[in-house]
Amino acid sequence: EGGGAMAAADPGRPRAAGLALLGPAPGAPSCPHGPALLFVKTSQGKEEGRRFYACSACRDRKDCNFFQWEDEKVSETRLAAREEYNRNHQPSFTHRQNVDRYKNFVLLPSSKRRFCQECQQLLLPAEWEKHSDHQFLCDITTAQLKSPSQLLYPLENKKTNAQYLFADRSCQFLINLLIDLGFRRVLSVGTPRLHEMIQSKSSQEEFSVRSLLLDIDFRYSQFYTEDEFCHYNMFNHHFFGGEAARETCRKFLYEENGERVIMVTDPPFGGLVEALASSFKKLMAMWRETEKEGHDNKEMPMFWIFPYFFESRILDFFPSFSMMDYQVDYENHALYKHGKTGRRQSPVRIFTNLTPSMIVLPEEEGYRFCTVCQRYVSSGNQHCEICNSCTSKDGRRWKHCVVCKKCVKPSWFHCNNCNCCTLQKHSCDKTDVGCFVCGKAGHKRSACPSLSCS
Ligand code: SAH
Ligand code: ZN
Ligand code: ZN
Ligand code: ZN
Ligand code: ZN
């Protein structure tokens, strides 16, 4: 595994060999994706590791190979070259230009509306020639322009930027939930499908919810104005559009006329939870600062959509959050979507700082309300009398282990060697390397029992 996201810095975790994130650092050098993050390379047992900067957004060196030791002297020539490189690696059109292009595009008769699939770009007739040997789509309809997430290819880079789009019913569920909770504005961070569904619903009558999309995928700037989309990196809280874009976001968070705001985010699952948390805290601070007296000690309401096995990591950074049992389904994710033969379990959940009892989950999908826990839970999630809570994380019925004093997955058993519950098939010899996902020793991330469905 390359890049920085591997073993993240967690104060409560034994020091393991690997990489740890120290976070955004003042004065950090920049790559085309904004300020780099500071990491430290640790070797087993050693106290101090060597620190270096690496790209915040790309975990694969192939996508962005920015690297600099923290104590490295960088010559003027190299700095100049780097700046030049960063400039050259910005998108070929600015957001403003894309907005103007869009205005011209919608004026075209449908026979002249083309979308280049190779360049992922709306084409104006004067540009056809340049793309003549590219594949393109014709007769682009207004409906297609209103659902860019269906027109664009989902980015597929496994490590950096895989885009997993919500299945319709999960997206509908989220929107209905937001409305029922009384929110009229949604800060959509890395949720283009949710954004576009809100937008198209808003054009219908009797539905007044607004959304601002923050995403690193600049292709969306072809379809949205500067008030609807900001090119944003959620791993370092970088607004590519500078102060103007930041101001757009700030204005959006200011709750005029009692229009309440919620932030919804569905980041890539690749890790870097602490980098995400640090950015989300900055967005929360932005919200708090818009109101002088209003929300002194309150937090901006938030839905953070993420796999359940990150629960403890998320709670480390946001103790006010709780995990909902609702299983978020995706359209293009082989593992997480509904199969033809009934339902495959999705590990993706909603983490929120709203009161759990307010998050009403659909009974027709098998969720029920537990009066003791005061929240909706999966049908298979049984209330454990000893733990005094509904303990299942994956929707199946879990069993209580009296030695571990907690509930565990149904397929686990208590191993006296390891002194904990685990899969029947495991080796008791431990290594010192903590697992990135659950933090426990004895296995690597790829073999993490939390990730397996058995
Ligand atoms: N389920 C969501 C999409 C989630 S996929 C939906 O259907 O709307 C993750 C999203 O995060 C993608 O849109 C991707 O472009 C965006 N993303 C990935 N890395 C990012 C980064 N560093 N900063 C901001 N957005 C990022
Ligand atoms: Zn092209
Ligand atoms: Zn319960
Ligand atoms: Zn229990
Ligand atoms: Zn046990």
What pTM, to 2 d.p., does this model score?
Answer: 0.89
Q: Residue 240 in contact with residue 34, Cβ under 8 Å?
A: yes
Print the domain residue range for 436: 429-453
Q: Residue 420 in contact with residue 414, Cβ under 8 Å?
A: yes
Q: Looking at the structure, do residues 81 and 104 belong to the same domain, yes or no?
A: no
In a domain, 416, yes or no: no
Ligand 1: residue whose CA is nearest its atom 11: 190
β-bridge pairing 420-423 and 412-415: antiparallel
Helix, strand, or coil here: 85? helix
In a domain, 321, yes or no: yes
Ligand 1: residue whose CA is nearest its atom 7: 165
- The reply to whether ligand 1 has any atom less than 6 angstroms from the CB of 266 is yes
Q: Looking at the structure, do residues 72 and 190 belong to the same domain, yes or no?
A: no
From the CA of 213, the nearest ligand is 1
Ligand 1: residue whose CA is nearest its atom 23: 233
CATH code for the domain in which residue 127 is found: 3.30.160
Q: What is the pLDDT of residue 7?
A: 34
Residue where one domain finishes, among candidates 111, 140, 169: 140
Cα of 3 from ligand 2 centre, angstroms: 31
- Enter the tokens of residue 276: 């995400």
Rounded Cα distance, 179 and 351, in Å: 18
Q: What is the pLDDT of residue 13?
A: 38
Q: Looking at the structure, do residues 196 and 266 belong to the same domain, yes or no?
A: yes
In tens digits, the chain (454 residues) has pLDDT values of: 233 333 333 333 334 457 788 878 888 999 999 999 999 987 766 667 889 999 999 878 888 999 999 999 999 999 999 999 999 999 999 999 999 999 999 999 999 999 999 999 999 999 999 999 999 999 999 999 999 999 998 887 655 567 899 999 999 999 999 999 999 999 999 999 999 999 998 887 677 899 999 999 999 999 999 999 999 999 999 999 999 999 999 999 998 888 999 999 999 987 689 999 999 999 999 999 987 666 667 899 999 999 999 999 999 999 999 999 999 999 866 555 554 444 567 899 999 999 999 999 999 999 999 999 999 999 999 999 999 999 999 989 999 999 999 999 999 999 998 889 998 888 887 554 566 566 666 665 556 655 544 3
- Exposed, middle or buried: residue 184 (CB in 10 Å: 0-12, 13-18, 19+)? middle
Ligand 1: residue whose CA is nearest its atom 15: 217
Ligand 1: residue whose CA is nearest its atom 2: 191
Q: Looking at the structure, do residues 203 and 259 belong to the same domain, yes or no?
A: yes
Q: Using alpha carbons, select from 366, 356, 452, 444 the residue that is nearest to residue 409.
A: 452
Cα of 188 from ligand 1 centre, angstroms: 10
Q: Looking at the structure, do residues 295 and 268 belong to the same domain, yes or no?
A: yes
Q: What is the pLDDT of residue 448?
A: 62
Cα of 350 from ligand 4 centre, angstroms: 22
In a domain, 421, yes or no: no
In a domain, 178, yes or no: yes
Q: Looking at the structure, do residues 78 and 165 belong to the same domain, yes or no?
A: no
- The reply to whether ligand 1 has any atom less than 6 angstroms from the CB of 268 is yes
In a domain, 343, yes or no: yes
Q: Looking at the structure, do residues 210 and 227 belong to the same domain, yes or no?
A: yes
In a domain, 337, yes or no: yes
- Enter the tokens of residue 445: 């991330």
Residue 434: phi and psi, rounded to 5, are -75, 145
- Exposed, middle or buried: residue 61 (CB in 10 Å: 0-12, 13-18, 19+)? middle
- The reply to whether ligand 1 has any atom less than 6 angstroms from the CB of 34 is no
- The reply to whether ligand 1 has any atom less than 6 angstroms from the CB of 196 is no
CA 188 to ligand 1: nearest atom? 8
Q: Looking at the structure, do residues 104 and 85 belong to the same domain, yes or no?
A: no
Q: What is the pLDDT of residue 203?
A: 80
In a domain, 326, yes or no: yes
- Enter the tokens of residue 88: 């050259």
Q: Looking at the structure, do residues 190 and 287 belong to the same domain, yes or no?
A: yes
- Number of structural domains (the chain) is 4
Q: Residue 397 in contact with residue 411, Cβ under 8 Å?
A: no
Q: Looking at the structure, do residues 108 and 83 belong to the same domain, yes or no?
A: no
Cβ neighbours of 133 (radius 10 Å): 6
Mutate to test the pocket of ligand 1, among 37, 159, 163 (most ligand atoms within 8 A of CB): 163
In a domain, 2, yes or no: no
Q: Looking at the structure, do residues 102 and 129 belong to the same domain, yes or no?
A: yes
Cα of 130 from ligand 2 centre, angstroms: 7
Q: Looking at the structure, do residues 81 and 180 belong to the same domain, yes or no?
A: no
What residue type is assigned to position 47 of the chain?
Answer: E
- The reply to whether ligand 1 has any atom less than 6 angstroms from the CB of 230 is no
Residue 217: phi and psi, rounded to 5, are -80, 100
CATH code for the domain in which residue 266 is found: 3.40.50
